Amino acid sequence: MRCARDMLQPMPPRRTWGLVLACALALPAWVVIGAHALAGLPPEGAESLAVDALVTAGVLVLLAVGGAALAPEPLAVRLGLGPCRIGTGAVAVGALGLLALSHALEGALRLAQMGTSPTLARFADAVSGLGPGALLLPLVSFAGVAAAAEELLFRGFLQRGLESAIGVLPAVALAALAFGAAHADLVQGSAALVLGIYLGLLAHAADSIRASIAAHALNNAAAVVEAATGLALPSAGPGAWLSIAAGGVLAGVALRTVWRAARRRSSSSGPAAGGSPHAEAGPGPA
Protein backbone atom coordinates (compact mmCIF):
# COMPACT_ATOMS: atom_id res chain seq x y z
CA MET A 1 0.00 0.00 0.00
CA ARG A 2 2.83 2.40 0.82
CA CYS A 3 4.46 1.80 -2.57
CA ALA A 4 1.15 2.55 -4.30
CA ARG A 5 0.79 5.82 -2.38
CA ASP A 6 4.38 6.78 -3.18
CA MET A 7 3.71 6.40 -6.91
CA LEU A 8 0.96 9.00 -6.63
CA GLN A 9 3.30 11.59 -5.09
CA PRO A 10 5.92 13.66 -6.93
CA MET A 11 9.40 12.33 -6.23
CA PRO A 12 12.15 14.59 -4.84
CA PRO A 13 14.93 15.32 -7.39
CA ARG A 14 17.48 13.08 -5.70
CA ARG A 15 15.13 10.12 -5.70
CA THR A 16 14.09 10.85 -9.31
CA TRP A 17 17.64 10.66 -10.61
CA GLY A 18 18.23 7.59 -8.47
CA LEU A 19 15.35 5.81 -10.20
CA VAL A 20 16.57 6.91 -13.63
CA LEU A 21 20.06 5.63 -12.84
CA ALA A 22 18.68 2.35 -11.49
CA CYS A 23 16.72 1.79 -14.69
CA ALA A 24 19.73 2.66 -16.84
CA LEU A 25 21.93 0.19 -14.98
CA ALA A 26 19.28 -2.52 -14.91
CA LEU A 27 18.67 -2.36 -18.66
CA PRO A 28 21.94 -3.93 -19.90
CA ALA A 29 21.98 -6.35 -16.97
CA TRP A 30 18.48 -7.53 -17.87
CA VAL A 31 19.43 -7.99 -21.52
CA VAL A 32 22.48 -10.08 -20.56
CA ILE A 33 20.40 -12.24 -18.21
CA GLY A 34 17.80 -12.72 -20.94
CA ALA A 35 20.39 -13.65 -23.55
CA HIS A 36 21.87 -16.20 -21.15
CA ALA A 37 18.45 -17.72 -20.50
CA LEU A 38 17.63 -17.91 -24.22
CA ALA A 39 20.96 -19.57 -25.02
CA GLY A 40 19.86 -22.69 -23.16
CA LEU A 41 16.49 -23.06 -24.92
CA PRO A 42 15.56 -24.47 -28.36
CA PRO A 43 15.23 -21.41 -30.62
CA GLU A 44 11.93 -22.43 -32.21
CA GLY A 45 10.14 -23.68 -29.10
CA ALA A 46 7.31 -22.05 -27.19
CA GLU A 47 9.50 -21.58 -24.13
CA SER A 48 12.06 -19.64 -26.14
CA LEU A 49 9.40 -17.34 -27.57
CA ALA A 50 7.87 -16.80 -24.14
CA VAL A 51 11.20 -16.00 -22.51
CA ASP A 52 12.10 -13.68 -25.39
CA ALA A 53 8.80 -11.85 -24.84
CA LEU A 54 9.55 -11.56 -21.12
CA VAL A 55 13.00 -10.12 -21.82
CA THR A 56 11.57 -7.59 -24.28
CA ALA A 57 8.82 -6.68 -21.82
CA GLY A 58 11.42 -5.99 -19.15
CA VAL A 59 13.26 -3.64 -21.50
CA LEU A 60 10.04 -1.76 -22.31
CA VAL A 61 9.16 -1.38 -18.63
CA LEU A 62 12.60 -0.03 -17.75
CA LEU A 63 12.45 2.47 -20.62
CA ALA A 64 8.96 3.62 -19.62
CA VAL A 65 9.67 3.94 -15.91
CA GLY A 66 13.07 5.54 -16.41
CA GLY A 67 11.67 8.09 -18.83
CA ALA A 68 8.55 8.81 -16.77
CA ALA A 69 10.64 9.38 -13.65
CA LEU A 70 11.94 12.58 -15.24
CA ALA A 71 8.46 14.10 -15.48
CA PRO A 72 7.22 16.52 -12.79
CA GLU A 73 4.05 14.45 -12.37
CA PRO A 74 3.81 11.50 -9.99
CA LEU A 75 4.96 8.29 -11.69
CA ALA A 76 1.54 6.62 -11.72
CA VAL A 77 -0.14 9.72 -13.16
CA ARG A 78 2.53 10.19 -15.83
CA LEU A 79 2.15 6.57 -16.98
CA GLY A 80 -1.64 6.49 -16.73
CA LEU A 81 -1.78 3.81 -14.07
CA GLY A 82 -4.63 5.39 -12.14
CA PRO A 83 -8.20 4.03 -11.96
CA CYS A 84 -10.31 4.10 -15.11
CA ARG A 85 -12.91 6.84 -15.31
CA ILE A 86 -15.24 4.38 -17.03
CA GLY A 87 -16.92 1.42 -15.38
CA THR A 88 -15.86 -2.20 -15.54
CA GLY A 89 -18.60 -2.93 -18.06
CA ALA A 90 -17.29 -0.29 -20.46
CA VAL A 91 -13.76 -1.63 -20.08
CA ALA A 92 -15.03 -5.12 -20.93
CA VAL A 93 -16.87 -3.77 -23.99
CA GLY A 94 -13.71 -1.99 -25.09
CA ALA A 95 -11.69 -5.18 -24.73
CA LEU A 96 -14.19 -7.18 -26.77
CA GLY A 97 -14.13 -4.47 -29.42
CA LEU A 98 -10.37 -4.83 -29.77
CA LEU A 99 -10.75 -8.59 -30.13
CA ALA A 100 -13.34 -8.09 -32.89
CA LEU A 101 -11.11 -5.55 -34.66
CA SER A 102 -8.13 -7.90 -34.45
CA HIS A 103 -10.03 -10.67 -36.21
CA ALA A 104 -11.37 -8.25 -38.82
CA LEU A 105 -7.83 -7.08 -39.58
CA GLU A 106 -6.60 -10.66 -39.83
CA GLY A 107 -9.20 -11.39 -42.46
CA ALA A 108 -8.53 -8.14 -44.32
CA LEU A 109 -4.79 -8.77 -44.50
CA ARG A 110 -5.38 -12.26 -45.86
CA LEU A 111 -7.79 -11.02 -48.50
CA ALA A 112 -5.31 -8.31 -49.45
CA GLN A 113 -2.74 -11.07 -50.01
CA MET A 114 -0.05 -9.27 -48.04
CA GLY A 115 1.67 -12.55 -47.37
CA THR A 116 2.40 -14.40 -44.18
CA SER A 117 3.99 -12.75 -41.18
CA PRO A 118 7.20 -14.66 -40.31
CA THR A 119 6.77 -13.67 -36.67
CA LEU A 120 3.20 -14.90 -36.44
CA ALA A 121 4.02 -18.06 -38.39
CA ARG A 122 6.81 -18.86 -35.95
CA PHE A 123 4.50 -18.12 -33.04
CA ALA A 124 1.76 -20.39 -34.43
CA ASP A 125 4.19 -23.25 -35.08
CA ALA A 126 5.64 -22.97 -31.58
CA VAL A 127 2.36 -23.11 -29.64
CA SER A 128 0.38 -25.36 -31.97
CA GLY A 129 -0.90 -28.44 -30.19
CA LEU A 130 0.32 -27.45 -26.73
CA GLY A 131 -1.72 -28.70 -23.80
CA PRO A 132 -3.10 -26.54 -20.97
CA GLY A 133 -0.03 -26.99 -18.79
CA ALA A 134 2.42 -26.08 -21.54
CA LEU A 135 0.32 -23.05 -22.47
CA LEU A 136 0.70 -21.47 -19.04
CA LEU A 137 4.07 -19.81 -19.72
CA PRO A 138 3.05 -18.39 -23.15
CA LEU A 139 -0.19 -17.08 -21.67
CA VAL A 140 1.58 -15.40 -18.77
CA SER A 141 4.26 -14.04 -21.06
CA PHE A 142 2.20 -12.76 -23.99
CA ALA A 143 -1.22 -12.10 -22.46
CA GLY A 144 0.05 -10.82 -19.12
CA VAL A 145 3.53 -9.37 -19.02
CA ALA A 146 4.05 -8.40 -22.66
CA ALA A 147 0.65 -6.74 -23.01
CA ALA A 148 1.15 -4.67 -19.85
CA ALA A 149 4.70 -3.67 -20.79
CA GLU A 150 3.74 -2.56 -24.30
CA GLU A 151 0.85 -0.48 -22.99
CA LEU A 152 3.08 1.03 -20.32
CA LEU A 153 5.54 2.29 -22.94
CA PHE A 154 3.38 3.13 -25.95
CA ARG A 155 0.07 4.28 -24.43
CA GLY A 156 1.40 5.27 -21.01
CA PHE A 157 4.79 6.90 -21.49
CA LEU A 158 4.74 7.86 -25.18
CA GLN A 159 1.10 8.75 -25.89
CA ARG A 160 0.41 10.55 -22.62
CA GLY A 161 3.66 12.45 -22.94
CA LEU A 162 2.72 13.65 -26.42
CA GLU A 163 -0.91 14.54 -25.70
CA SER A 164 -0.16 17.80 -23.90
CA ALA A 165 2.31 18.86 -26.59
CA ILE A 166 0.57 18.01 -29.87
CA GLY A 167 -3.01 17.03 -28.97
CA VAL A 168 -4.82 13.76 -28.46
CA LEU A 169 -5.30 12.47 -31.99
CA PRO A 170 -1.74 13.17 -33.20
CA ALA A 171 -0.42 11.60 -30.00
CA VAL A 172 -2.57 8.52 -30.51
CA ALA A 173 -1.42 8.25 -34.13
CA LEU A 174 2.28 8.65 -33.37
CA ALA A 175 2.19 6.18 -30.50
CA ALA A 176 0.35 3.70 -32.72
CA LEU A 177 2.90 4.22 -35.49
CA ALA A 178 5.73 3.50 -33.05
CA PHE A 179 3.82 0.47 -31.79
CA GLY A 180 3.47 -0.90 -35.31
CA ALA A 181 7.10 -0.18 -36.21
CA ALA A 182 8.29 -1.92 -33.04
CA HIS A 183 6.91 -5.21 -34.36
CA ALA A 184 9.45 -5.02 -37.23
CA ASP A 185 7.15 -7.02 -39.49
CA LEU A 186 5.13 -5.50 -42.35
CA VAL A 187 2.08 -7.73 -41.93
CA GLN A 188 1.97 -7.82 -38.15
CA GLY A 189 3.07 -4.19 -37.90
CA SER A 190 0.25 -3.06 -40.21
CA ALA A 191 -2.30 -4.71 -37.97
CA ALA A 192 -0.55 -3.40 -34.86
CA LEU A 193 -0.78 0.15 -36.21
CA VAL A 194 -4.58 -0.03 -36.46
CA LEU A 195 -4.90 -1.86 -33.15
CA GLY A 196 -2.63 0.75 -31.59
CA ILE A 197 -4.99 3.53 -32.68
CA TYR A 198 -7.91 1.68 -31.07
CA LEU A 199 -5.92 1.06 -27.89
CA GLY A 200 -4.85 4.70 -27.78
CA LEU A 201 -8.42 5.95 -28.05
CA LEU A 202 -9.51 3.46 -25.41
CA ALA A 203 -6.74 4.52 -23.03
CA HIS A 204 -7.55 8.19 -23.54
CA ALA A 205 -11.28 7.70 -23.02
CA ALA A 206 -10.62 5.77 -19.82
CA ASP A 207 -7.87 8.21 -18.74
CA SER A 208 -5.96 5.09 -17.71
CA ILE A 209 -3.91 2.43 -19.44
CA ARG A 210 -5.61 -0.16 -17.24
CA ALA A 211 -8.34 -0.32 -19.90
CA SER A 212 -5.92 -0.77 -22.79
CA ILE A 213 -3.93 -3.35 -20.79
CA ALA A 214 -7.12 -5.38 -20.25
CA ALA A 215 -8.00 -5.21 -23.95
CA HIS A 216 -4.46 -6.02 -25.07
CA ALA A 217 -4.27 -8.94 -22.65
CA LEU A 218 -7.56 -10.41 -23.88
CA ASN A 219 -6.48 -10.13 -27.50
CA ASN A 220 -3.10 -11.79 -26.83
CA ALA A 221 -4.70 -14.55 -24.75
CA ALA A 222 -7.13 -15.28 -27.59
CA ALA A 223 -4.21 -15.39 -30.06
CA VAL A 224 -2.37 -17.94 -27.91
CA VAL A 225 -5.42 -20.17 -27.48
CA GLU A 226 -6.41 -19.96 -31.14
CA ALA A 227 -2.89 -20.81 -32.30
CA ALA A 228 -2.69 -23.73 -29.89
CA THR A 229 -6.07 -25.18 -30.87
CA GLY A 230 -5.98 -24.36 -34.59
CA LEU A 231 -9.11 -22.20 -34.40
CA ALA A 232 -9.37 -19.64 -37.19
CA LEU A 233 -11.98 -17.54 -38.92
CA PRO A 234 -12.65 -18.05 -42.66
CA SER A 235 -9.80 -16.64 -44.73
CA ALA A 236 -11.64 -16.50 -48.06
CA GLY A 237 -15.11 -16.31 -49.56
CA PRO A 238 -18.28 -14.76 -48.10
CA GLY A 239 -17.38 -15.94 -44.60
CA ALA A 240 -14.22 -13.85 -44.63
CA TRP A 241 -16.06 -10.74 -45.77
CA LEU A 242 -18.70 -11.32 -43.11
CA SER A 243 -16.09 -11.64 -40.35
CA ILE A 244 -14.37 -8.44 -41.52
CA ALA A 245 -17.61 -6.46 -41.63
CA ALA A 246 -18.87 -7.82 -38.31
CA GLY A 247 -15.54 -7.23 -36.60
CA GLY A 248 -15.30 -3.66 -37.85
CA VAL A 249 -18.85 -2.82 -36.83
CA LEU A 250 -18.45 -4.38 -33.39
CA ALA A 251 -15.20 -2.49 -32.81
CA GLY A 252 -16.83 0.80 -33.79
CA VAL A 253 -19.83 0.19 -31.54
CA ALA A 254 -17.57 -0.78 -28.66
CA LEU A 255 -15.43 2.32 -28.98
CA ARG A 256 -18.51 4.53 -29.22
CA THR A 257 -19.89 2.89 -26.07
CA VAL A 258 -16.64 3.59 -24.23
CA TRP A 259 -16.64 7.25 -25.30
CA ARG A 260 -20.21 7.70 -24.14
CA ALA A 261 -19.39 6.14 -20.79
CA ALA A 262 -16.44 8.50 -20.42
CA ARG A 263 -18.54 11.53 -21.28
CA ARG A 264 -21.25 10.53 -18.82
CA ARG A 265 -18.66 10.10 -16.09
CA SER A 266 -17.05 13.47 -16.93
CA SER A 267 -20.44 15.21 -16.94
CA SER A 268 -21.44 13.74 -13.60
CA SER A 269 -18.12 14.47 -11.86
CA GLY A 270 -16.99 17.67 -13.60
CA PRO A 271 -13.49 19.09 -13.60
CA ALA A 272 -13.89 20.14 -9.98
CA ALA A 273 -13.95 16.51 -8.91
CA GLY A 274 -10.17 16.40 -8.86
CA GLY A 275 -9.56 14.42 -12.04
CA SER A 276 -6.26 14.57 -13.84
CA PRO A 277 -5.61 17.04 -16.70
CA HIS A 278 -5.97 14.11 -19.09
CA ALA A 279 -9.45 13.39 -17.73
CA GLU A 280 -10.60 16.99 -18.18
CA ALA A 281 -9.68 16.89 -21.87
CA GLY A 282 -12.55 14.49 -22.61
CA PRO A 283 -12.56 11.42 -24.81
CA GLY A 284 -13.08 13.26 -28.06
CA PRO A 285 -10.54 14.98 -30.36
CA ALA A 286 -8.47 17.70 -28.71
| pLDDT band, very low/low/confident/very high, at 275 (cuts 50, 70, 90) | very low
* pLDDT value at residue 235: 62
Name residues whose C-beta falls within 8 Å of residue 64's C-beta, 6 or more positions apart in sequence: 79, 149, 152, 153, 156, 157
Q: In angstroms, how far is CA 9 from the centroid of its own chain?
A: 25
CB 79 within 8 A of CB 156: yes
pTM given for the model: 0.87
- Angle 261-266-267 from CA coordinates, rounded to 5°: 100
Q: Is residue 188 part of a domain?
A: yes
**Residue-wise pLDDT tens digits, 11-51:** 556 578 889 999 999 999 999 999 999 998 887 889 999 99
Interatomic CA distance for residues 142 and 53, integer angstroms? 7
Count of domains forming the chain: 1
Please check whether residue 179 is in contact with residue 193, taking contact to mean a CB–CB distance below 8 angstroms: yes
The model's pLDDT over 170-218, given as tens digits with 9 standing for 90+, comes to: 999 999 999 999 998 889 999 999 999 999 999 999 999 999 999 999 9
Domain that includes residue 264, residue range: 81-280
* Integer Cα distance of 162 and 117 in angstroms: 30
pLDDT, average across residues 43-64 = 93
Domain annotation covers residue 76: no
Does residue 106 belong to any structural domain of this protein? yes
- Output the average pLDDT for the chain: 87
Answer yes or no: is 50 within a domain: no
Task: Let me know if residue 70 belongs to a domain.
Answer: no
Confidence of residue 69 (pLDDT cuts 50, 70, 90): very high
What pLDDT does residue 192 have?
Answer: 95
pLDDT value at position 233? Answer: 66
Residue 58 within any structural domain of the chain: no
**DSSP conformation class of 11:** P
Q: Would 6 be classed as within a structural domain?
A: no
Backbone Cα Rg of the chain: 19
Q: Give the integer Cα–Cα distance in Å for 162 and 279.
A: 15
Report the C-alpha gap between 38 and 59 in whole angstroms. 15
Is there a domain that residue 91 lies in?
Answer: yes
Q: Say if residues 209 and 80 touch (Cβ distance below 8 Å).
A: yes
3-state DSSP of 109-166:
HHHCCCCCCHHHHHHHHHHCCCCHHHHHHHHHHHHHHHHHHHHHHHHHHHHHHHHHHH
Per-residue pLDDT, 7 = 56
